[in-house]
A = this chain, B = another copy of it.
Amino acid sequence: MHKALEGITVLDLGQIYNGPYCSLMLAYQGAKVIKIEPIQGENLRVRRKGDSHELLMLNSNKLGASIDLKSNEGKQVFLDLVKQADVVVENFSLGAMERLGLDYEKLKQINPRIIYASGKGYGLEGPYAHRPAMDLTMQAMSGIMSTTGFPDTPPVKAGPAVSDFLGGIHLFGGVVTALYQRQQTGKGQLVEVSMHDAVYPTLASALGAYYSQGGDTPERTGNQHSGKASAPFNVYPTADGYVAITCVTDKQWKNLLILMNREDLLEDDRFRMNVNRAAHTDIVDNIVENWTSKQYKSEIEQRLVDYKIPHAPVQTIAEVADDPHLKYRNMIREVYHPKEGQIKIPGSPIRLSDSPLEDISAAPIMGEHTEEVLENMLGLSKDDLSQLIDKNVIHTNKTKSNI
């Protein structure tokens, strides 16, 4: 069975999370993805002084070539690759590709079919376009931070770098849309995604509250229902962590009362319907917390499942790393890495029945496939390669121990 993007060649200049995740999704759907890094490695290898787990998570199924794009010979090698490629993915800071002389205007002269995917923090233009796009400041600027946390504590960033990944997955969608359009037009084009743009729709609930209630909306509501219109709806401490519990129907609430041995409250008008409970949220939360705090997560889990009350344990990272549902679904995969041994990395969240993700190979060692790519795609000889290595234009993992 052919994979969906078989035959598509991607030059992945991505660094850290945004660009690499876009290209990972392309690789997982069958594209040939060549991760092109500077001689010293992409920024994530430099920052973490080696092949961190983050790098290994986001660069499976890619070939790795190490080319100095600042040198004239390196630029020429890259442009020769562009002639044969379908997609270029980059998420450098604004202006970097222009300074290298490798912006879209240049590349489309070389190859009018090239799809040039540009991921940026704030896009290619606008008043913020030159701001550095780091997770802390992006979460502050975009509104994620203001709406996260408790009413009585400062705004706090979401733990995961969600804006980077929202950027990367929107960029993937844009690339495949451009590939689809190219089938009709025969031409490539520029695909642009700003991480800051990609966060805005996710604020739907907060914007909804803002537009309907104006300045009276509390920005942060902790784990409570944003309209404070439902109870119980919160995260409650257990003896060994926390559990999230919510009752959508009055029947679920009654079942919870029975489970908690609080049948004495079954006829209490303060809690009869959701609107009543919502008016007494703090009391409801106290009642539930009295019950949860004395038990372990696993005991509560079983009882809430039996009584059909919507809930979930607040899973720690250790628990997520071992999650039975992710493992069952092959979303956590074990692959062999020559330096790190057996490692656990993600499968694909995008599942196509006719383009299944079967084999996963670990992220490339830096420069692991430089020779292979340049020989196979550009017909370079061993002598050509030696000269480029000697001039430090390219790097292969055979020339020195590089980590």
Binding site for B on A (CB under 8 A): 2, 4-5, 17, 21, 24-25, 29, 48, 52-54, 57-58, 122-123, 125-129, 131-132, 134, 136-150, 153-162, 165-166, 169-174, 176-181, 183-185, 187, 189-194, 196-212, 215, 217, 219-220, 222-223, 233, 235, 237, 242-244, 246, 248, 310-321, 324-326, 328-329, 331-332, 343-344, 346-347, 349-355
Contact = CB atoms under 8 A, between A and B. Distances in A.
A352 B191 contact: yes
Nearest to A108: B353
Contacts of A311: 137
Given A141-B313, A161-B202, A312-B131, A212 B52 contact: yes
Given A126-B325, A150-B156, A352-B181, A207 B317 contact: yes
A124 to B, nearest CB: 9
Contact of A176 (B131, B176, B346): B176
Contacts of A203: 159-160, 317, 320
Given A52-B208, A160-B162, 14 more contacts: A4-B180, A132-B310, A136-B246, A137-B244, A144-B158, A150-B156, A165-B202, A166-B166, A169-B170, A169-B173, A183-B183, A189-B352, A190-B353, A194-B329
Contacts of A243: 140
Contact of A198 (B54, B58, B185, B349): B349
Given A190-B353, A325-B196, A206 B159 contact: yes
Q: Which of A172, A179, A237, A312 has the most CB of B within 10 A?
A: A312
A137 B331 CA distance: 19
Contacts of A190: 352-353
A109 to B, nearest CB: 15
B310 A154 contact: no
Contacts of A248: 132, 134
A140 B246 contact: no
A177 B29 contact: yes
Contacts of A329: 123, 125-126, 194, 197
8 contacts: A145-B244, A154-B235, A154-B242, A156-B156, A159-B220, A162-B202, A170-B349, A181-B352
Contacts of A326: 196-197, 200
A162 B162 contact: yes
A201 B165 CA distance: 8
Nearest to A217: B317
A219 B140 CA distance: 21
Contacts of A179: 180
Contacts of A209: 317
Given A197-B329, A200-B326, A207-B57, A155 B235 contact: yes
A89 to B, nearest CB: 14
Nearest to A139: B244
Contacts of A200: 320, 326, 331-332, 346, 349
B187 A354 contact: yes
A350 B193 contact: yes
Q: Which 9 A-B pairs have the closest CB atoms?
A: A147-B159, A158-B158, A137-B312, A140-B244, A143-B320, A4-B181, A160-B202, A197-B349, A190-B353
A204 B321 CA distance: 11
Contact of A4 (B52, B161, B177): B177
A184 B5 CA distance: 10
B315 A146 contact: yes
A238 B17 CA distance: 31
Contact of A181 (B196, B321, B354): B354
A351 B148 contact: no
Contacts of A328: 125-127
Contacts of A141: 312-313, 315
